[in-house]
Amino acid sequence: MTSANPRHTFARMVLLEVSPTDAPLFEDFVAASDDVKDGKEIGTDFGVVEVAAMVGPVAVWLAQKVFDHLLSWAAEIGKKTIEGFLVDSGKAKLKAWLAAPDKQTLKGALTANGRAEIMGLVAALSARSKLPPSEIRKITSRIAAILFGDEGK
Amino acid sequence: MKESDTRQKTRPHVRAIAWEGRWRAAYLILILGTFASLYVGATLPQLGPAIIPFKFWAANLVGPAIIFGAAIAMALSVARMGQRLHLKRRRLRRTRSAAIRKIVREISAKFDIRVTPMTSGGPRDGRMSALMIGRHRVLRIGTAALPMAFHRPEDFRFRVAHEIAHLSANDPAREQLVRAAYVSAGILVLVGATSVASSILGSLQVVARNPGAWVTFEPILAFTIMANALSLGIFALNLLLEHRSATRLREFHADAMAGAVVGDVATPFLESADRKSDRHAILWRFFKRHPPPLAREQAIAQEGKVFTADLILFVLQGYLTVTVLEALLQLLFVNASPTLVGPEVRQRHLIDMFATHPTSVLATVLSAAALMALSSALITARLQSSIAAVSTPTVRWRLITLVPILLTGGALMAGASSQAVLWGLKQTGWNFVEYARAYYDGLLVHAFGLIGLWILSFAALLGKTRRPSIVRLALAQLPAGSAVCAGLLVY
C-alpha cells in the first residue's frame, strides 16, 4: 500500500480497518473531507432521511484530522507548545511516521499526555459525527492500534 | 430495458399518477395566472391598456397576463442563477467510484435518459436528490449515502431509481416552473394590494380632513381589510396545500417507477425516523412535501393506497371550482351588485353587457368553464384510478360517502371566504335567509355547479372502472355545464 500522499495513506489504512467494504469509495470520502455542508439541496429528494451516519466517510475524515494535527506538531518541534507530548526520540519517529505512515508507527514516540491529546481529539471529533457509540469505539480503537501498535487494542 | 419497456412494465395506476401530476401543475399555473391577472386588472385598470397600445376588449386581463408570463421567465432565470451560485457553494463534484457510476448508468438506461452522478456534502450528508443543471440531469448523492451501495445495495438502487424517476418525469424542472409561477403571481398580487392600500390611504386622508366622516368610513375600512385578508389568505393557503398535495403524489409516482425498474423495496420507509410521528401530526402532514413513510410503505404493497392516501384533493378542487364560478359571477355582475340589488337588475345588466360586449362575456364564461372542466377532469381521473386500483366494495362505498362531503366542504370554504358573499351578508346584517332571498340567482348557479360535482363523482365511482376517454371528457363538463344551464335559467 503505497501512496504519494501520506495523509491519504493513513486515512486509507483507517478505512480498511474500520470498513473495508467501503474501500472503492475512498477517493469520494477524501474529496468530501473538507466539505462541512450538510442538509437540504436544490431539487427533489427522497424524503426519508438516513437514520444513522455511515462509518466509512467519518473514519476517513477523522483520520485526516488526526494526521493534520500530528503534522502541526512536527512543524512546532522545538516550540514549547508541544513539549510534554513527545519523548526525546519521538521527534524523529514522528517525522518518519508522517513521511510513511504505512511503514512506521508512533509506538513509544508519544508521552502519556501526547497520547491523551490525540485520543481526546479523536473522541471530540467522533462525538460530532452522529455515529452510534459502538461505531465510535470501533474507530477510536482502530486509530489507536494503527498509531500506537498494540497499545490501543 | 428501454423507456418503452419501462412503460410496458409500469402498471396503469403509475401512468394515472403521472397524468394527474402533470395536469395538476398545469392547472395550478393557470389558476395562479388567471387570478393574479384578474386581481391586478381589477385593482389597476390602467395597467392593461398601458401594456397593450391598441384598443382591445380584454386588455385589462391580457395585459397583466403578459406581465405574469414575463415575470415567470424572469423568475426562472433568477432561480437558475441562484441555483448555480448555490451549487458552487455546495462544491458539487463528479462521483469518483466506478461502481456507483455503473449503478447510476444501468438504472438511468432503463429510463432511457442520461444522468450524471455527482457527490457533495460532508461525511454526514446522507441525502440524495435529483436536479437539473442547465440541460443536464444530475443525481446528487450525499457522501454518507455512498456506502449504502455496498452495505444495502437493494436499498441504494431503489433510492437511485426513485431520484431518476423524478428526472425522467421532469419533476425538478416542473417544480422550478411552479415556483416561478408562485413568485410571479405573488408579485402581481403585491402590486394590486399596494394599489388597494394606497386607495385606502387616500380615503383616510379625506377622512382626516373631515373627522365626522370617520363614523361611516371606519366599519367599511375594517370590513375591506378583513375580507381581503380572509379571501386572499385562504386562497393562498389552499394553493399552497394543492401544490404540496401534488408534490406528495409525485413521490408516490417515483416510488412506483423505482419499484417497476429495480423491484419494490420497503426498508427505507420501515427505518425512517419520521415514521413514529405519522399518527401525531394529522394536519401538519398536509403541508409536507413527502407522504408519511407508512403510507409510502403501504403504497408499495397495495397500489390503490396511492389514491386514497391524500383525499385533500377533493376539498381543494371543490374550493377551486366554486372560487372560479364565484369569480365569474363577480366579473359578470361587478357593476350591478355593489348594494345587493335584486336578480332582475343583474339580469338586465348581463343582457346589456352581452349586447355591447358579446365576445368579452362569452370569452369570460368559456374561460371559467374551461378551468372548471379541468378541475372536474382531475376529480374524475382520480376517482376512476382509485376504483381501478382497488375495486373492493368497501373502498368504493367509502369514496361514495366521503367524496361528496369533501367536495362540499371545499365549496363551503370558498363561499365563506368570498369577498362578494361576505359583502352581501354584511348588507343584510349577517342574515343568511335575507341574503339568500336577495341573491338566490347566484346561489342557484353555485348549487347547480355543486350538484354537477356530486353527479360527476357518483358517475365516476358507480360506473365501469375503465371508461372511454369521450365519456370521461363529457363527465368533466358536468359541473360547468350545469352551472351555465342554471345561469341561462335565472338570467
Residue B1: what pLDDT? 46
Cell 450528508 -> residue: B125
Residue A33 CA from chain centroid, whole number: 11
The answer to whether the Cβ–Cβ distance between B124 and A58 falls below 8 Å is yes
Nearest to B143 among A29, A41, A43 (CB): A29
Residue of B78, B87, B95, B150 best to disrupt the A interface, most CBs of A under 10 A: B150
Nearest to A25 among B93, B146, B289 (CB): B146
Give the lowest-confidence range in B60-64, B99-103, B266-270, B412-416: B266-270
The answer to whether the Cβ–Cβ distance between A43 and B151 falls below 8 Å is no
Residue A41: what pLDDT? 60
Residue B97: what pLDDT? 94
Percent of chain B residues past pLDDT 70, beyond the cut: 91
Residue B336: what pLDDT? 53
Torsion of CA B19, B248, B174, B25, to 10 degrees: 60
The answer to whether the Cβ–Cβ distance between B120 and A129 falls below 8 Å is no
ipTM for the assembly: 0.86
Residue of A nearest to B142 (CA): A38
Average pLDDT (A27-46) is: 75
Residue A87: what pLDDT? 84
The answer to whether the Cβ–Cβ distance between B162 and A31 falls below 8 Å is no
pLDDT digits (tens, 9 = 90+) for B119-163: 988 887 888 999 998 889 999 998 989 999 999 899 999 999 999
Residue B376: what pLDDT? 94
pLDDT at B168 over 90: yes
Residue-averaged pLDDT of chain B? 86
Angstroms from A90 CA to nearest CA on chain B = 32
Which cell numbers in the block locate residue A16? 480498511
pLDDT digits (tens, 9 = 90+) for A6-27: 999 999 999 999 999 999 999 9
pLDDT at B383 over 80: yes
Angstroms from A12 CA to nearest CA on chain B = 15
pLDDT at B485 over 70: yes
Residue-averaged pLDDT of chain A? 83
pLDDT at B103 over 60: yes
Give DSSP secondary structure letters for A52-77: S--HHHHHHHHHHHHHHHHHHHHHTT
Nearest to B140 among A41, A55, A58 (CB): A41
Percent of chain A residues past pLDDT 90, beyond the cut: 42
Residue B77: what pLDDT? 92
Nearest to B124 among A40, A60, A130 (CB): A130
| pTM: predicted TM-score of the whole model, two decimal places | 0.86
The answer to whether the Cβ–Cβ distance between B125 and A37 falls below 8 Å is yes
A-chain residues near B100 (CB < 8 A) = 25, 28
Whole-angstrom distance, CA of residue B479 vs CA of residue B234: 23
A1 falls in which pLDDT band (50, 70, 90)? very low
> By the CB < 8 Å criterion, does B168 face chain A?
no
Average pLDDT (B101-121) is: 94
Angstroms from B432 CA to nearest CA on chain A = 46
b/e map of A72-91 (b: 16 or more CB within 10 Å)? ebeeeeeeeebeebbeeebb
b/e map of A102-128 (b: 16 or more CB within 10 Å)? eebbbeebbeeebbebbbebbeebbee
A-chain residues near B93 (CB < 8 A) = 31
